[in-house]
A and B are shown apart, each in its own frame.
Chain A
Amino acid sequence: MLSLDLQSHHAADGVPPAPSRCHQLQAALSAYVDGELPMEQSGALIHHLDQCGACSARVQCYRGLRQGLQELPAPAAPTQLALRLRVEASHYSVRGQRWQYLRLRLGTAIRAMALPAAVGTASALFLFSALAGGVRSNIVNDPLRPDVVVGGNPTPPRLTSLSDYGVGAPVLVEAQIDATGHVYGYSVLAGPTDAQLISRLNNQLLMSVFQPATTNFGQPTTGSLLVSFGTVEVRG
Chain B
Amino acid sequence: MDIEALRMSSQDTTVGFSAALAVPHWGEQQLAAELRAGSVEAFNYLISLYHQPLYRFVCRILGDRDDAADTVQEIFLKVFRSAAHFEGKSSLKTWLYQIALHEASNHRRWWRRHKRQETSLEEEDASGGSWASRLPDGRESPLGQALRNEQRRQLQQALGQVPEPYQAVLLLREIEGFSYDEIAEIVQVRVGTVKSRLLRGREMLRQRLRQEGAAADGAAERPGAAAPAGWRSVPDA
Q: Which residues of A contact B (CB under 8 A)?
A: 1-2, 4-10, 12-13, 15, 17-18, 20, 22-23, 26-27, 30-31, 34, 36, 54, 57-58, 60-62, 64-66, 68-79, 81-86, 88-90, 92-93, 96-97, 100
Q: Which residues of B contact A (CB under 8 A)?
A: 13-18, 38-40, 43-44, 47-48, 51-52, 55-56, 59-60, 65, 68-69, 72-73, 76-77, 80-81, 127-130, 132-133, 140, 147-148, 151-152, 155-156, 159, 170-171, 173-175, 179-180, 195-196, 198-199, 202-203, 205-206, 220, 226-237
A57 in contact with B76 given A9-B228, A75-B128 (CB within 8 Å): no
Identify the 4 closest CB pairs spanning chains A and B, nearest first: A12-B233, A73-B133, A89-B43, A77-B55
Closest to B16 in A: A79
Apart from the given pairs A7-B227, A61-B231, 10 other A-B contacts in the complex at a CB distance below 8 Å: A9-B227, A17-B236, A27-B196, A36-B179, A64-B229, A69-B159, A72-B152, A74-B130, A82-B51, A89-B40
Q: How far is the CB of B148 from chain A (nearest CB, A)?
A: 6
> In the complex the two chains form, is A61's CB within 8 Å of B237's CB?
no
A77 in contact with B51 given A4-B151, A65-B231, A96-B38 (CB within 8 Å): yes
Contacts A/B (CB < 8 Å), 22 sampled: A1-B148, A5-B233, A9-B220, A18-B237, A27-B196, A36-B180, A65-B155, A65-B205, A69-B155, A69-B170, A69-B174, A73-B129, A73-B133, A75-B68, A76-B13, A77-B55, A77-B56, A77-B72, A82-B47, A82-B48, A85-B51, A86-B17
Closest to B203 in A: A26
> In the complex the two chains form, is B174's CB within 8 Å of A15's CB?
no
Contacts of A27 in B (CB 8 A): 195-196, 199
